[in-house]
Amino acid sequence: MRKIAIFAALAVLGAGLIYADHTYEGVADVHDIMELVQKPSMDQLAAIMKAGGPQSEDDWKHSKAYASILSETTQLLLMGGRVKDDVWTNGATTVITGAKAAVVASDAKDLAAWKAGVGQMGKGCRTCHKVHKPPEEKAQ
């Protein structure tokens, strides 16, 4: 959880710099963003989904945090020259849309909307991974 909080702070700081007098310059590569931020966040959401959805106040709070981090870091994947093609853009946009819906649903504690948002995020991930995830990582 501490790693996620650190990366969340970095993502928010990075997003804020875009709107300041600062030109965005990507430093992290796609693999690092995926492995250290996105996969752990999506794994946590999948575990909550497997349990039937958020069950407690902490679950709702955490599911909102994981979805918001996924939205932010997915936006980073669309910046800094990382986009490879329309598949990438479409998959990322689907993740962002689903993540935003999951954040709103978490605030409202709307289980059906939360499940739909998380499902949309998974669909966006699969869209891109089918084309761009290296074969050796698919086997893991």
Q: What is the pLDDT of residues 93-135, one digit of tens each?
A: 999 999 999 999 999 999 999 999 999 999 999 999 999 887 7
* CATH 1.20.120 given to domain 2-132: yes
Where are the domains positioned within the chain?
2-132
Percentage of the chain surpassing pLDDT 70?
83
Q: Which two tokens stand for residue 116?
A: 């739909």
Percent of the chain at pLDDT exceeding 90: 68
pLDDT band, very low/low/confident/very high, at 37 (cuts 50, 70, 90): very high
User: Considering the chain, what is the average pLDDT of its residues?
Assistant: 88
- Residue pair 74/38 in contact (Cβ under 8 Å)? The answer is yes
pTM attached to this predicted model: 0.80
pLDDT for res 24: 81
- Closest alpha carbon to 63 in 115, 3, 25: 115
Do the Cβ atoms of 99 and 70 come closer than 8 Å? yes
Tokens standing for residue 49: 């989904």
